[in-house]
Structure 1
Amino acid sequence: MNSKYNVEKNKDLDQGWAWVIMVAAFVAGIINGLLIYGAGVVHVALLQKFEEDNSYTALIGSIFTSLLSLIGPLASMLINIYSCRMTMIVGGIVMFIGFVSSFFTSHNLNYILITYGIIAGTGLGLCATPPLVIIGYFFHLKRGLALAVVVSGAGFGMFIAGPFLQALINQYGLQGAFLVLGAISSNQIVIGTLMRPSDLENRHKNDLKRKRDMDRMTSKSNNTIFYTLKNLLHFDILSDKSFMFCSLQYLLWSIPFSILLLHLTNYAVLQGSSKENAALLITYMGISAIFGKIITGLSVGHNGLDPVLLNFGFNGISGLLTILFPLYSGTFQGQTIFALLFGFYSGGLTTMINPLCMELIGVSKVSSGIGTMYFISGFGYIIGPPIAG
């Protein structure tokens, strides 16, 4: 742990308001998980409504899910300039605008790409980083427990995403479903108000402000913006070989993961499963992801297992499951087995982003680390689904 911020003496750590933060971040994870893992159901609904080319329709979903990652550096910069609270509130507002706009533009696929894919996706990206970062500011000795609870929220969201989105679309149509999702996403604004800055976060922000002020005085005017961004985004982490190697691993993992996220439901339908059963696969992934996230979060806590080694082990198993999937994907039982196993290990992989950044670059740079890792993996999310067709 970085002693610069003297985390053990921080009065907010592991007690009091920290538990409110944990619950708020958990609920935020449920909402994010619901929206991310429901993208496959929305994809099928778009295909059926517009009967457009599968690749173009997949592009909409891939933009939505990829912006979760590609917006990472922007989210990190806003956190470093303002706070986790402000970033979360702004993200909730943008996401709400995107979904409500999709309600009015649901008759045109090109407009949906903008309102759902880009605007709502941007809001989702802004809401993804703060819950992970703020855990590092409020927890130290109990960080493993807090992280396990928070990341399991996405698993719960994944658990309900398939049946919930399918029921929404069946009941209200795609247009009405967008409006309901807008109402759900607005809860991120309320959650953001609960994320009050800790002493540790305030000291970190003040240190960055002093560095920016010094750069303004010592650097040439035409270099001021560069040095400001350098301090806000911690460009020096790009020279950390271990960190960049882990980021590359997440890029390579995100390509097949994004393909499964959008196409697994439709693939199951093509294999003969009903739409309801196909949507259940996302539920099964969510169930196992909850256990994967909780077990992983507890395993990599204070004095726990090495997150780097655990990360590569989980990645290897996930890859093997995916390679062998065509051999047993012909039945719903085989699809269920894959969904359960892949959900468990992918849940563990997404959980380890926070502890990996803590381990490799320290708490003072964790927001930039998470944002950078998200950004790099985001390219996998955006190219994966269209390539798969």
Structure 2
Amino acid sequence: MPQDQEQTESRWSWVVLLGTIVVQGLTLGFPTCIGIFFADLQHDFQASNSETSWFPSILISLLHAGGPICSILVEHFGCRVTVMLGGVLASSGFVASSFSRSLSELYITAGFITGLGMSFSFQAGITVLGHYFFYYRALANALASAGVSIGISLWPLISRYLLEVFGWRGTFLIFGGILLHCCICGAVMRPVAPKTESACPPPNKVPEQGRLLTCGQAVQRHLAFDVFLQNHSYRFYTLGVVWMLMGFAVPHVFLVPFALSQNVEEHKAALLITIIGICNIFLRPMIGVVAGRSMFAGRRVYLFALAVLLNGLSNLICVISGSFSVLVFYCLVYSISMSGIGALLFQVLMDIVPMNRFSSALGLFTVLESFTVLISPPLAGLLLDTTGNFSYVFYMSSFFLISAALFIGLSFFFLCKKTKEKQMMDRVHEEPTPEKELNQRYTEEPVTQSHSTVMYVTYVTSV
């Protein structure tokens, strides 16, 4: 690539980053505002907390589980087309959901279709950053995750206003139009080079093999089971994050209903989510810059574990009191930990997985996440229906987060310790014994040895 073209491409990478920021705000930022519609959906469909919770859980689960399909689309069509296709699907799902007459229809439209579309846009946007950035990859990921913060700040305020004016059906219809902006963002994500969009050879160049073997190779390309089995760091990190998400998704769904149950006014309850989002806008890039320093190279996973631990402890604040002032304090503490998780989640994954396997590793990573994300909100809703007390919901969230933080931190500590011990043992076995070294020097070293070498050999001989 010529020098001037390389500089132009470097400048264009920041345009791609801007598109990814908007995509993340539209996709990952949206689930935090679902709690605002909770009471209206329960009233219109005469549903319990557990039944209503399936709508956000399906949406968030598909947002994660679409990774393998997204990987196939990226391989064959590139990141640009995949992001735009995701925008069309997400928009169509919300437009169709505005006409839903039952919760089951809402599960399919706003849950399945919209979730799958958001998954395509979000994951293809993350993947394209890996091709556009290398030296500033940590900063780019942190800035991209700040788009989630912007979405968290704006979605609740927009949702609250639209809900009061148009009701939830009119609001979902408008949401369909807003999500079409993913198509505009995808349009700027032009391919870097034909080969960088795919880590695998084109299908027509693959030799004829048995169907079973071909299927196995396809699974390996898009779901990195081989990396999961061979890479201990990837395995421990994936299991820890999957367990963490059993608790991480709960406050996003139940914070607003909890505030309303404590007689907090509706606009103030929606403001709580906005506070979290505004704090994340400033905190995520700061954490990304700090974590990108060379002193944290190879240690970012410990920062991530610390953020998860703080996130779990912060949820216990809601158990103390449900007053608005206490909840504002909770949102501030929660924002610090959430910013750390958001800024480091994919950066740590990029640190422990080679970039040529990142797309498939991300696919397996998100598929496994989807199972816990799917059952977490309904499980919390069932717990709430059974006990009638929100405290148990936050206890549940804290338990999963704290235990996940300890698992990740301790796993990597012992893994690092074991690796160092193995390296020391390898050095010991590789070092020659004095007798062997003496023979080597007498038979292989030239006569013109340095004075220090001669003294050393004489010393060994005397012993």
TM (norm. structure 1) is 0.90
Say which is worse superposed, 329-338 or 55-64, in terms of deviation. Answer: 329-338
> How far off its partner does 1:48 sit?
3.2
Aligned partner of 2:377 in structure 1 is: 385
Provide the secondary structure at the position in 1 that maps to 2:59.
helix
Aligned partner of 1:176 in structure 2 is: 170
> How far off its partner does 1:13 sit?
9.2
Aligned partner of 1:220 in structure 2 is: 210
- Cα distance in 2 for partners of 1:345, 1:297 equals 13
Inter-CA distance 81–356: structure 2 relative to 1 (3 Å threshold): farther
> How far off its partner does 1:152 sit?
0.4
Inter-CA distance 13–363: structure 2 relative to 1 (3 Å threshold): farther
Rg larger in 1 or in 2? 2
Count of residue pairs the alignment pairs up = 377
Aligned partner of 1:40 in structure 2 is: 35
Inter-CA distance 264–366: structure 2 relative to 1 (3 Å threshold): same
2:345 to 346, 353, 363: 353
- Cα distance in 2 for partners of 1:225, 1:216 equals 13
Inter-CA distance 230–55: structure 2 relative to 1 (3 Å threshold): same
Aligned partner of 1:235 in structure 2 is: 225
- After TM superposition, list the pairs within 5 Å mapping 1:297-336 onto structure 2: 297-301=288-292, 303=294, 305=296, 306-327=299-320, 329-336=321-328
Aligned partner of 2:268 in structure 1 is: 277
Inter-CA distance 326–14: structure 2 relative to 1 (3 Å threshold): farther
Aligned partner of 2:119 in structure 1 is: 125
> How far off its partner does 1:369 sit?
2.3
Inter-CA distance 206–267: structure 2 relative to 1 (3 Å threshold): closer
Provide the secondary structure at the position in 1 that maps to 2:184.
helix
Aligned 8 A contact 1:60 1:113 in 2: yes
Aligned partner of 2:249 in structure 1 is: 258
Say whether 1:290 aligns with 2:281: yes
> How far off its partner does 1:386 sit?
0.8
Inter-CA distance 213–204: structure 2 relative to 1 (3 Å threshold): farther
Inter-CA distance 12–344: structure 2 relative to 1 (3 Å threshold): farther
Inter-CA distance 96–162: structure 2 relative to 1 (3 Å threshold): same
Provide the secondary structure at the position in 2 that maps to 1:222.
helix
Aligned 8 A contact 1:288 1:341 in 2: no
Higher RCO (CA-CA < 8 Å; seq separation 6+): 1
> How far off its partner does 1:235 sit?
2.8
Aligned partner of 1:3 in structure 2 is: none
Segments of 4+ moved more than 4 angstroms = 212-215
Unaligned runs of 5+ in 1: 1-5
Provide the secondary structure at the position in 1 that maps to 2:98.
helix
2:22 to 14, 18, 27: 27
- After TM superposition, list the pairs within 5 Å mapping 1:138-177 onto structure 2: 138-177=132-171
> How far off its partner does 1:251 sit?
1.5
Inter-CA distance 337–275: structure 2 relative to 1 (3 Å threshold): same
Say which is worse superposed, 233-242 or 190-199, in terms of deviation. Answer: 233-242
Aligned 8 A contact 2:272 2:331 in 1: yes
Provide the secondary structure at the position in 1 that maps to 2:157.
helix
- Cα distance in 2 for partners of 1:301, 1:180 equals 39
Provide the secondary structure at the position in 2 that maps to 1:265.
helix
2:91 to 79, 84, 96: 96
Say whether 1:82 aligns with 2:69: no
Aligned 8 A contact 2:224 2:363 in 1: no
Q: CA-atom RMSD, angstroms?
A: 2.3
> How far off its partner does 1:205 sit?
4.2
CA displacement 1:51-107 (0-9 Å, x = unmatched):
3111101111111122111212222232233311121111111111101101222x3
- Cα distance in 2 for partners of 1:222, 1:388 equals 41
> How far off its partner does 1:302 sit?
6.3
Inter-CA distance 27–277: structure 2 relative to 1 (3 Å threshold): same
- Cα distance in 2 for partners of 1:50, 1:274 equals 23
Aligned partner of 2:332 in structure 1 is: 340
Aligned 8 A contact 1:291 1:344 in 2: no
- Cα distance in 2 for partners of 1:13, 1:301 equals 25
- Cα distance in 2 for partners of 1:249, 1:236 equals 18
> How far off its partner does 1:45 sit?
2.6
- Cα distance in 1 for partners of 2:333, 2:361 equals 28
Which residue identity is paired with 2:313? L
Of all paired residues, the percent bearing the same amino acid is 26
- Cα distance in 2 for partners of 1:172, 1:337 equals 32
1:195 to 178, 184, 189: 189
Provide the secondary structure at the position in 1 that maps to 2:10.
coil
Inter-CA distance 371–224: structure 2 relative to 1 (3 Å threshold): closer
> How far off its partner does 1:315 sit?
0.9
CA displacement 1:218-249 (0-9 Å, x = unmatched):
x4233212212312433322112211211122
